[in-house]
Structure 1
Amino acid sequence: MTKTEKILSYHGIRPTKMRSKIYKFLKRKQSAVSFSDLKKAFVQKSETNKTANRTTFYRNLKIFEDKRLIHQINDGVGVAKYAISDENAKVKYGIDLHMHFHCTDCRRTICLPNKISEESLPDDYEVSDVNLVLKGICEKCRQK
């Protein structure tokens, strides 16, 4: 069993070829990926692959998200983006509590490494989703 297959299995996801490919693709990315970027990457790689259809991608992203292997980011541009969740995040709410940074110049969105303290969340509330996005200019764009 490969490392990717072990990770998928650990999260309760049956490791198929397509799921392994999607996971590896997302894992390699340093910034969040939109559905259309994901689809384009796979269509270009395998134009004859009939199984790489829109439904397959949506279904697999939904499974990954439900199992908290990835998280969805709404960075305000009107298109959902996806990134791998922190495997070591063990939080009370089952959510990887961290911020994201969206560069208004290159339009990349990245996960920031610092976590948000659970103590800052009220005890009497049940958190089901978190979307924290900082906007500005990234380091690469500032150096231009």
Structure 2
Amino acid sequence: MAHAKNNFRFEDLLDKHHLKKTGARLRVLSMMHSKNTATSQPDLETLMSDIDRVTLYRILNVFEEKGIIHKVFDLNGTANYAICHADCAENHHHDEHLHFNCTACKNVYCLNDLNMPRLTVPSGFRADAFTIYASGLCPKCNKKSDKAN
């Protein structure tokens, strides 16, 4: 039953952004929503082997353009994608939250609930957005590390 509820929400999201409700788009949204970490295109390709690489690339590209997902880079420079909050809009993301890279499991987490510092830039500059990264151990890997010590 929860699956149908999620599909309805995702269909509304696609409608809001004037996108066709294709099975592939709905599945990508569902897969990304089910994960608590940002996901790379190669990982999505592995999880969704029936969607070809080009189609997946186009889906991720249009979702990013429309403000449905945002891109965050991991410690290796690989692009990962996470679902945006409601205040993102077409070609204008509001992803000013901490992106945490776990050095053990290599997962990337969007930590949305932290208070971010106010950004001030020198005169003449205009900051439209900013990204803050942190690296270390996620709770799961930190717990494993504590047990090993």
Output the TM-score relative to the length of structure 1. Answer: 0.81
Kept in 1, the 8 Å contact 2:36–2:109? The answer is yes
Instruction: Give the distance between the partners of 2:72 and 2:8, measured in 1 at CA.
Output: 28
- What is the aligned residue count? 134
Q: What is the aligned-residue identity percentage?
A: 30
- Kindly provide the CA deviation profile for residues 89-139 of structure 1, in whole angstroms up to 9, marking residues without a partner as x: 68xx6422111101101111100022536x534595444553321001111
Question: Residue deviations 1:37-77, cap 9 Å, x none?
Answer: 1011111xx4xxxxx21110000000000011000101231
Relative to structure 1, is the Cα distance of residues 108 and 62 closer, same or farther in structure 2, using a 3 angstrom cutoff? same
1:42 aligns with 2:41: no
Q: Letter of the aligned partner of 1:75 in structure 2?
A: D
Does structure 1 conserve the Cα–Cα contact (< 8 Å) formed by 2:71 and 2:79?
Answer: yes
Q: Map 1:45-84 to 2 at 5 A.
A: 46=50, 52-84=51-83
What do you get for the CA RMSD once the two structures are aligned?
Answer: 2.3
Unaligned runs of 5+ in 2: 1-6, 145-149
Say if 1:13 and 1:63, in contact at 8 Å, map to a contact too: no
**Contact 2:99–2:133 under 8 Å retained in 1:** yes
Give 3-state SS (helix, strand or coil) of 1:120's partner. Answer: coil
SS in 2 for 1:58: helix
Describe the shift of the 1:99–1:125 C-alpha distance in structure 2 as closer, same or farther (beyond 3 A). Answer: same
Q: Distance in 2 between matches of 1:28 and 1:121?
A: 36
